[in-house]
């Protein structure tokens, strides 16, 4: 059972961006599953790899759209994307000793609230 579902208030109105943002919702649900299923290694690694894949696929596209639209907050936005990438790499490198899936779950929820619902909406 998913803990979070897509809500219309998450929409940016840019179809491909919204499609990619839905993947973040899937990652939050996967993190929740990983906790519920006793943090099995396979699920946690799938989650972290999913974060890296999400970052790789989505950020570049979103930055490109921002550039095309002449968004003046692009540098700052790019920096936030870089931090997400670094955080995902840190989770990957520190697993299993120093990565707790609850940290990932919390991080992704914060990213949804602060980044997707706030920063990504500034330019649309």
Choice between 33 and 62, CB closer to Fe ion: 62
Angle, helices 101-110/74-94, rounded to nearest 10 degrees = 170
CA 16 to chain centre: 15
2-21 footprint of Fe ion as x/- string (CB under 5 A) = --------------------
CA 28 to chain centre: 8
Determine the residue with CB nearest Fe ion.
Answer: 120
DSSP state of 13: S
Question: Measured from the CB of residue 43, what is the shortest distance to Fe ion in angstroms?
Answer: 26
**Residue from 32, 48, 91, 120 in contact with Fe ion (CB under 5 A):** 120
CA 66 to chain centre: 18
Choice between 35 and 116, CB closer to Fe ion: 116
Residues forming contacts to Fe ion in the complex (CB under 5 A) are 62, 120
């Amino acid at each position: 059972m998913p803990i979070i579902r897509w809500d219309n208030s998450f929409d940016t109105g840019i179809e491909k961006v919204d499609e990619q943002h839905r993947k973040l919702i899937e990652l939050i649900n996967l993190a929740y599953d990983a906790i519920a299923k006793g943090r099995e290694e396979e699920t946690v690694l799938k989650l972290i790899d999913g974060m890296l894949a999400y970052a790789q696929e989505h950020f570049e596209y979103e930055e490109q759209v921002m550039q095309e639209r002449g968004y003046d907050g692009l540098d700052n936005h790019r920096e936030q994307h870089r931090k997400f990438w670094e955080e995902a790499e840190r989770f990957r490198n520190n697993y299993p000793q120093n990565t707790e899936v609850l940290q990932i779950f919390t991080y992704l929820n914060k990213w949804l609230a602060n980044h997707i619902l706030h920063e990504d909406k500034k330019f649309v």
